[in-house]
Structure 1
């Protein structure tokens, strides 16, 4: 019974493959990631930390603002279905107001086939409902982007690891992606932010 309880406690509560895991080949895309002056930081907390399973209090991306963005290249093309945001529990957070609040997940639209699928799917499947979010994150590096999900992390929720669904119209379109951008639009009231872990879930595209 003790062993069963230990296994249960250690089991990942999300239960979905994380394509944004550095150990499996995911990488930060610098050209799509906000850069900040970190000269005043005693220890730099780089964006690479968000691709790590480590949720210790010192493993996070330190953002000296309440908005920014991070580009993530996953190791394979996927049909995205969900995104998970991990934060430390509010009971042990240095300042829970540093937690992200409003975010948008963007997908880099690549390939002629995907652009054609988007053009076909846009109206009948209602992808245009996402148009109010804009046509891409602040930093685009010349790419074309599709909004995949608009989410809000809740600091008062029962659990500190929260999973959100990609918009159903995007899932139905069967457009696949290899590069994503998570745009942080606000936090919970602090002048700076902390992003601990970002997971991207979906279905791997068959060769």
Structure 2
């Protein structure tokens, strides 16, 4: 199974009960990986939310990834960490996490994509494919053409993120990327389970 196929990134604006319900439903609908993203800086609250989500995910076999924070990932024994370009270095993160944890890195330009090929990461998050309100400070929008090029350039698995929804997901899949990461297409759906099922169906058809 490809763990990156339908990669759900959580909404940090949701309260804990809503967050846990959404994650539970998304997994029931077939998401293959879950990343908890928190931008508030309260490390204790982040750990508490991560622990609660991990409990909901227990026994599902779906990997739990923590955004940015290696300390939070270690505290809750998550499956891995996703780093941005301004976070802890990949070398330091890998040393702290060990070899068996999943480590992802966001790349926002061709140069970053090329530089990342030599790093000890398991996958690269290509950001942002299209304009999206959840990612405001993006360097560029790759678009379908740019993403197609990125797939050719990278020996590492790529996960596309940014502005992807059910209307454009098929064209993103057709570039050959290993995974699609989504936030609002799942978290803001009336029924995250049905939304996830429909997205997977579109991706695989």
TM-score of the pair, normalised by structure 1: 0.26
- Give 1 or 2 for the bigger CA radius of gyration: 1
Q: Which has the higher strand share?
A: 1
Q: Whose RCO is larger (CA < 8 A, sep 6+)? A: 1
